[in-house]
Amino acid sequence: MPLDTQTFGITRHWLSVGLEEVAGNPEIFGKRLLGVARKAFLAGSKQLPAIKNWLWRAGIIDIKRGSAELTDLGRLCAARDRAASRAWTWWLIHLHLCANPDSSPYSTFFCFYDVDGGLWLRFDDVIENLGGLMASAGQAVEPATVETYFAGVHQAFRPGWPLHDLLLVEQRVIGGERERPRLRRASASPADVVVAYATLLFQQSFFSNQTTLDARVLLDRGLARSLGMKDQGYRDALARIHQSLALGQFVEYRHAVNLDSIHFRKMGEPALKQIRAYGYESGEAQWP
């Protein structure tokens, strides 16, 4: 099931409130507490499902039999960044959305659109392309539905919104156009801890039984694109990570002629938890 944003982007306030409310009240998104939820989130009844879906698909909460609970990721964010103001928190949200096929069209857009493509993309053209990509991946969705879902993603990356501040997307109005601003993928330079976490996360999400992977396999999955990087920039980051005392314990990068592979010295949820904690402790991931 794709990420149903109901046309609404995720805000810092909604994430901060979600971290607090779900911890204290698992039924916060239920019909019985509609009034309580609207007051807490300062949101309308149509916005509440969007908030729940953003948090769920980003791995912040889990939904079981209608009740919500914070995941390990959500509990860590609540403990280290209850105000949802740190760049590392929003990188974690972004990467978990990218590594989750069920977060399409978010994951589809970031994993399949090239960085620095040069062309400013019309919203309608993006919708048409995303619909085709989702259909080819077995997620056939009506164009109007794709438009509704992606409208929230589009909003979340407009100036003034926290995901926008990762500088992964550029938007602008061209000429006298009255339609939505055009957009294009931007080039970014994420900290090595972000690259290391993304590498382990994509391995866990798509190749969890493999301890060694060709770098090309992860690149074909859109890993570098999700980071706002070119393939060579990603490889350069892997080389630095390999030499890092803190991050090299997770990833070994082997690069030679006709050999470009990543060996995972540590992997799985325990390794991801360790890097998540390190990201908060080190403070290496900063706003651009």
Residue-wise pLDDT tens digits, 64-115 = 888 999 999 999 999 999 999 999 999 999 999 999 999 999 999 999 999 9
Same fold, 12-83 and 192-282: yes
Cα–Cα distance, 134 to 132 (Å, whole number)? 5
Contacts of residue 178, Cβ cutoff 8 Å, sequence gap at least 6: none
> Comparing C-alpha atoms, which of 272, 99, 254, 112 is closest to residue 193?
272
Average pLDDT, rounded, for the chain: 94
With contact defined as beta carbons under 8 Å apart, do 201 and 73 qualify? no
Cα–Cα distance, 59 to 91 (Å, whole number)? 12
Name residue, tokens 């760049």.
87
* 257 has pLDDT over 80: no
Instruction: Give the model's pLDDT for residue 57.
Output: 97
**CATH, domain 192-282, list 2.40.128, 1.10.10, 1.10.15, 2.40.10:** 1.10.10
Question: CA 72 → CA 19, 126, 136, distances in Å?
Answer: 12, 34, 33
* 30 has pLDDT over 80: yes
Instruction: Give the model's pLDDT for residue 138.
Output: 85
Report the greatest alpha carbon distance in the chain: 62
Cα–Cα distance, 51 to 260 (Å, whole number)? 40
145: left (phi over 0), alpha (psi -120 to 50) or beta: alpha
CATH topology of domain 12-83: Arc Repressor Mutant, subunit A (1.10.10)
Name residue, tokens 């879902």.
149
Mean pLDDT of 142-167: 94
DSSP 8-state symbol, 121: B
CB neighbours (10 Å) of residue 242? 18
Q: Return the half-sphere exposure (C-beta side, CA atoms, 13 A cut-off) of residue 90.
A: 26
* 16 has pLDDT over 90: yes
Instruction: Give the model's pLDDT for residue 258.
Output: 74
Instruction: Give the model's pLDDT for residue 137.
Output: 85
> Comparing C-alpha atoms, which of 49, 42, 78 is closest to residue 66?
49
pTM, two decimal places: 0.96
Sorting pLDDT into bands at 50, 70 and 90, what band is 181?
confident
Cα–Cα distance, 160 to 11 (Å, whole number)? 9
Rg of the chain, C-alpha, whole Å: 19
With contact defined as beta carbons under 8 Å apart, do 215 and 209 qualify? no
> Coil, helix or strand for 269?
helix
The percentage of the chain sitting over the pLDDT mark of 90, rounded to a whole number, equals 85
Q: Would you kindly state where each structural domain of the chain is located, as residue ranges?
A: 12-83, 101-185, 192-282
